[in-house]
Amino acid sequence: MEISGPYLTINLKNLEHNLNLLRSKLKKTTEVIPVIKADGYGSNAIVITKKLISLGIKRFAVASTKEGVELRNAGIKNPIMIFYPYIKNFKLLFENKLEPVLYSNTLINAAIKYLSDLKITNYPVHIKFNTGLNRIGLSINEFDLSNLTPKSKCFKILSIYSHLSASENPRPCKYTSSQISEFEKIKKITSEIVKPEIGFHILNTSGIFNYPEKQYDAIRSGIGLYGYANCKSWDSELKPVLTLKAPIIQILKIKKGESVGYNNAWASKRNTAIAILPLGHADGITRSFGNKKIKVDINGFKCPIIGNICMDIIMIDVTNSKCKEGDFVTIFGESNSASFISEQAGTVSYELLTGLSQRILRKIIE
Ligand SMILES: *Cc1c(COP(=O)(O)O)cnc(C)c1O
């Protein structure tokens, strides 16, 4: 019998479904900016980007300059926003025609200096305002509005945006309302000086479901394209793009009272059959997934992970299921929601997906 290792499938049909679903909630004129940072939320940024281009997407967003350069090196010529550029990487950023998000005066001043030294004018940039997430962004009070005027020849302003802190919280949400009214104020003040080429935007995935009337001119969606939206009923409209499977490489039988795994973290209360899977915390399945918090899907049976997750191995109690060595177990995917198991483990789907290591083979389903 030939047993191969764990693998992650990337289902591009489901990606297309999710894009269409998101588009169905938006006006035709609203630009969809897919967020493909962290290697496309743990999938494969290049594969995802190429598929989305074939579906009519024009512009993408990633976190770092390095991620943008990787897409350029793969031959992707579309506009790419860089959410968090480092001044140190400006040469790389500008030479690769990446679009920086300017979120602080330090960054704005450094960009002006860099561009004017090289006599570059009209370089496409985005401006990010903080409206209450208090993570990153300019406040309108500290922002020098002359950066938006034609007098500042360095920049062509493509968009002005902000980010919500609790877009998935049930409406009405006071905090979100105050962020949106702050953004309205910013829009009013800046619109008097500049008409950004793309326009204004504030929504991420959950925001599209919760505040479609605040879509302005564009949305930035990451997790939704991969099949999750931070709410069970919204998730049900989407389809998971990623499925993680691993083979059973051994089945052990242990007696009542014996323990399993490091530090004897789990002891059997009855004679138990244990299936061994060849993946662990080095693959991105963190320790919080161990010790019966999470169940995986084995031939339709939900079986708990027992003991501590090891670096390369996970143990499953399969006493009540039908399985044999070589069978593939679904850790998460359509039959076991990544969002649900993450919640059970005290985390979020974002962390589970983006933590999947490169050691796991990726398989594309066209
Ligand atoms: C990551 C990120 C997004 C995408 O958010 P999702 O919840 O995955 O849709 C949007 N905007 C910014 C600024 C981000 O950093």
CATH code, domain carrying 255: 2.40.37.10
Q: Which atom of ligand 1 is nearest to the CA of 128?
A: 13
Quick one: tokens of 124? 């496409």
Please give the tally of structural domains in the chain.
Answer: 2
Structural domain of residue 18, as residue ranges? 12-226
| Same domain (yes/no): 215, 286 | no
| Same domain (yes/no): 294, 357 | yes
| Same domain (yes/no): 308, 207 | no
Decide if 84 contacts 136 (C-beta within 8 A).
Answer: yes
Beta strands per DSSP E along the chain: 7-11, 31-34, 60-62, 80-82, 99-102, 123-128, 155-161, 199-201, 218-221, 242-247, 250-254, 259-260, 266-267, 272-277, 295-298, 301-306, 314-317, 328-332, 361-365
pLDDT of 153 reads 87
Report the separation in Å between the CA atom of 192 and the middle of ligand 1, taken as the mean of its atom positions.
28
pLDDT of 263 reads 94
pLDDT of 3 reads 57
Q: Which atom of ligand 1 is nearest to the CA of 224?
A: 9
Question: Parallel, antiparallel, or unpaired: how do β-strands 7-11 and 361-365 relate?
Answer: parallel
- Separation CA 316–CA 277 (nearest Å): 8
| Same domain (yes/no): 296, 215 | no
Q: What is the pTM of this model?
A: 0.97
pLDDT of 2 reads 54
159 C-beta closer than 6 A to ligand 1: no
42 C-beta closer than 6 A to ligand 1: no
Decide if 291 contacts 280 (C-beta within 8 A).
Answer: no
Question: Does residue 1 lie within any of the structural domains?
Answer: no
Question: Does residue 234 lie within any of the structural domains?
Answer: no
Report the separation in Å between the CA atom of 33 and the middle of ligand 1, taken as the mean of its atom positions.
10
222 C-beta closer than 6 A to ligand 1: yes
- Separation CA 53–CA 76 (nearest Å): 9
One pLDDT digit (tens) per residue for the chain, 366 residues: 455 899 999 999 999 999 999 999 999 999 999 999 999 999 999 999 999 999 999 999 999 999 999 999 999 999 999 999 999 999 999 999 999 999 999 999 999 999 999 999 999 999 999 999 999 999 999 999 999 987 778 999 999 999 999 999 999 999 999 999 999 999 999 999 999 999 999 999 999 999 999 999 999 999 999 999 999 999 999 999 999 999 999 999 999 999 999 999 999 999 999 999 999 999 999 999 998 789 999 999 999 999 999 999 999 999 999 999 999 999 999 999 999 999 999 999 999 999 999 999 999 999
| Same domain (yes/no): 202, 247 | no
Q: Which atom of ligand 1 is nearest to the CA of 167?
A: 7
Report the separation in Å between the CA atom of 219 and the middle of ligand 1, taken as the mean of its atom positions.
9
Query: Measured on CA atoms in the order 35, 41, 46, 52, is the torsion positive or negative?
Result: negative
Decide if 161 contacts 128 (C-beta within 8 A).
Answer: yes
Domain end marker among 226, 253, 279:
226
| Same domain (yes/no): 217, 155 | yes
- Separation CA 13–CA 365 (nearest Å): 8
- Separation CA 331–CA 302 (nearest Å): 10
- Separation CA 7–CA 245 (nearest Å): 6
Any catalytic annotation for residue 7?
A: no
Any catalytic annotation for residue 228?
A: no
201 C-beta closer than 6 A to ligand 1: no
Report the separation in Å between the CA atom of 235 and the middle of ligand 1, taken as the mean of its atom positions.
17
The CATH number given to whatever domain includes residue 161 is: 3.20.20.10
pLDDT of 340 reads 96
Q: Whose CA is nearest to atom 6 of ligand 1?
A: 222
Q: Which atom of ligand 1 is nearest to the CA of 101?
A: 13
126 C-beta closer than 6 A to ligand 1: no
| Same domain (yes/no): 259, 209 | no
> What are the C-alpha distances in Å from 18 to residues 48, 187, 354?
12, 30, 18
Q: What residues form DSSP beta bridges with 316?
A: 275, 305
Beta strands per DSSP E along 12-79: 31-34, 60-62
Question: What backbone phi and psi angles, to 5 degrees, belong to 156?
Answer: -110, 115
223 C-beta closer than 6 A to ligand 1: yes
> What are the C-alpha distances in Å from 251 to residues 75, 263, 308, 348?
46, 21, 17, 30
